[in-house]
Amino acid sequence: MEDIQSQDRPISFFQRIILVLTEPAKAFADIVAHPRWIGAFLIVVLAGLVSMQASFPYMMEAQERAFQQNPNMTPEQTEMMMQRFDPEKEVSQRIWMSIMAVVGGFLELLILAGLFTFGCSFLLGGEATFKQVMAVIAHSLLVRVPKVLLLTPLILVKQSMSVSSSLAVLLPMDQWMTPLGVLLMQIDIFKIWGIALLITGLATLYRFSKGKVAALVLGFFSLWVVIQVVLAIVASSLFGGLTGG
């Protein structure tokens, strides 16, 4: 009787966070039984905000350089965009970017939850609540925390945003948005880790085989990669046409 009660008792919040990264099968069994997503979501958002605020000067510098080197902008347009980097506006820019990061993070969570609820519940015929799917996805995104802990210090030491945990680091930063750069950015150790966690979580939730869930998750992911690469090709063609390249 005591064993049953101990299994029904939810794991503590911080223990669950650690187990997601160290023993995901055990963590997701608890997450499915006790689907709480807000805490994990807040940790992911907080880590992102800390990283953004710490690397803010280098983010602005990278954007400023991109505007200056954009051959499709007139000097007047460049000057207008450069006014956005007025040091007197830094506080408001930081606040605005923080708000957008929180809102964007929540929208991302909702979209992913809707997508995988549709995929697992309707396409594969499984049963789960939207809250459970939200909890699984929110916890699979926790891989962004160790990513932030690794990359943010490197950004501060290098004083540049040209830091990546993907194979895009093999290219100059100004080529990261090219079709090849976009493709290489998908080969990211933390992205692969996050996909593995998502597969484990959804397989635990829906009681599907990991192979069945992996086919769905990788199918959606591959489609998203194709869309990004196509957009990069279109952008490259458009800019090349405008510049006569």
Across 135-166, b (16+ Cβ under 10 Å) vs e yields bbbbbbbbbbbebbeebbeebeeeeebbbbbb
Query: Distance (Å, rounded) from C-alpha 9 to C-alpha 154?
Result: 40
pLDDT at 1 (0 to 100): 33
3-state secondary structure of 234: helix
Check pLDDT > 70 for residue 5: no
Task: For the chain, give the longest Cα–Cα distance.
Answer: 76
- The contacts of residue 114 (CB under 8 Å, 6+ apart) are 130
Check pLDDT > 50 for residue 107: yes
Is residue 58 within 8 Å of residue 159, measured between CB atoms? yes
Question: By C-alpha distance, which of 229, 72, 40 is closest to 139?
Answer: 40
pLDDT at 136 (0 to 100): 97
Total structural domains in the chain? 1
* Helical ranges in the chain per DSSP H: 2-8, 13-22, 24-33, 38-54, 56-69, 75-82, 90-117, 130-140, 144-158, 179-185, 189-206, 210-242
Check pLDDT > 90 for residue 89: no
**Mean pLDDT across 216-234:** 93
**Mean pLDDT across 63-75:** 62
Question: By C-alpha distance, which of 134, 135, 120, 144 is closest to 194?
Answer: 144
Percent share of the chain, pLDDT over 70: 84
Confidence band (pLDDT; 50, 70, 90) for 201? very high
Is residue 162 within 8 Å of residue 173, measured between CB atoms? yes
DSSP for 72-129 reads: TS-HHHHHHHHGGG-GGGHHHHHHHHHHHHHHHHHHHHHHHHHHHHIIIIIIS-----
Q: Domain limits at 20? A: 2-242
pLDDT at 80 (0 to 100): 61
Query: Distance (Å, rounded) from C-alpha 44 to C-alpha 127?
Result: 27
Query: Distance (Å, rounded) from C-alpha 101 to C-alpha 51?
Result: 11
**Mean pLDDT across 200-212:** 96
Confidence band (pLDDT; 50, 70, 90) for 32? very high
Residue 189 in tokens: 């150790």
